Amino acid sequence: MSTFAVISDVHGNLEALQAVLTKIDELGVTSIYSLGDVVGYGPDPEACVLLTEKHCCLRLMGNHEYAVVHPESGVTFNATAKLALDWTRQRIQEARLEDRISELQPFHQQGETLFVHGSVQNALYEYLVESDRNGHSTFDEVVESLENDFIYFRLCFVGHNHKPFLATTEGFLHPHDGLREFQVPQEERLYVSVGSVGQPRDRDPRACFVTYDGAKITYHRVAYPFEITAGKIRSRGLPGVLADRLALGR
């Protein structure tokens, strides 16, 4: 198996996406899978759509893409996300990119690997969380899912969470600067939350993505000039809180 990279949740952050694509190129990796939410929150949705179209062999639909092309869906976003969503929809419509977004799917299986935006249970919307919150799957339920649902696939790469972690039937691992490479035993089933390129929420502001070479999962962190992205968020009239959070990684 040749090494591939998995990115997710770019969220209109062009500076972070460019830094990640440069890093992936330096690694000599040519297959890039995008798990969705390329748009939403950030100031450059059109450029990020075009850049992922150019570089990614798979592009999934995230809940933000879905809300952009299905304004009637009535999906609940908080007030900040809703403001950003309406702004993003207008930009996408002006760039005539809706048709290309509406044809995306929220999951894709390739051999023993499943790529999905949200979770195995809910491809678009579900967050995987440490303790019960709003009915989302807890880590215990994720381990149960590994045992019960991983029948036709062995590996599952998910986005949406914005927090990188790796779950096996043995338990959970959180990557950190002392440990970012994990050997995957043959036959092991694995839930891989790949983190976020454009809006990390694990208190590390650096862009996050994953590579897999058939035996080893590696979590990468890439510093990028988030103050440039934050400046654009403010100058383009998006909520300032979306700019502030980039420096904090939350």
Residues that bind Fe ion (CB under 5 A): 37, 62-63, 160
Residue 141's Cβ-side half-sphere holds a number of Cα atoms within 13 Å equal to 15
Who's near 227: CB < 8 A, 6+ residues apart?
Answer: 247
Pick 15 or 126: Cβ nearer Fe ion: 126
Q: Please tell me the distance from the alpha carbon of residue 176 to that of residue 179, in angstroms, as a whole number.
A: 5
Pick 23 or 160: Cβ nearer Fe ion: 160
Determine which helix (DSSP H) or strand (DSSP E) holds 137, and give its type and residue range: strand 137-138
| N-term to C-term CA, the chain | 34
What DSSP designation does 176 have? B
Pick 128 or 184: Cβ nearer Fe ion: 128
Secondary structure of residue 43 in the 3-state scheme: coil
Tally of CB atoms within 10 A around 68:
25
Pick 17 or 184: Cβ nearer Fe ion: 17
Beta pairing class for 190-193 and 155-158: parallel
Q: How far is the CB of 178 from Fe ion (least distance, A)?
A: 28
The string of DSSP letters for 58-110 reads EEB--HHHHHHH-GGG-----HHHHHHHHHHHHHHHHTT-HHHHHT-BSEEEE
Q: Please tell me the distance from the alpha carbon of residue 160 to that of residue 250, in angstroms, as a whole number.
A: 14
Q: How far is the CB of 191 from Fe ion (least distance, A)?
A: 16
Pick 127 or 224: Cβ nearer Fe ion: 127
Pick 63 or 88: Cβ nearer Fe ion: 63
Pick 85 or 155: Cβ nearer Fe ion: 85
Q: How far is the CB of 13 from Fe ion (least distance, A)?
A: 14
Q: How far is the CB of 124 from Fe ion (least distance, A)?
A: 8
Widest CA span of the chain, in angstroms?
Answer: 50
Q: How far is the CB of 78 from Fe ion (least distance, A)?
A: 13
* Contact status, residue 217 vs residue 191, Cβ threshold 8 Å: no
Q: How far is the CB of 160 from Fe ion (least distance, A)?
A: 4
Q: How far is the CB of 107 from Fe ion (least distance, A)?
A: 13
Q: Residue with CB nearest Fe ion?
A: 160
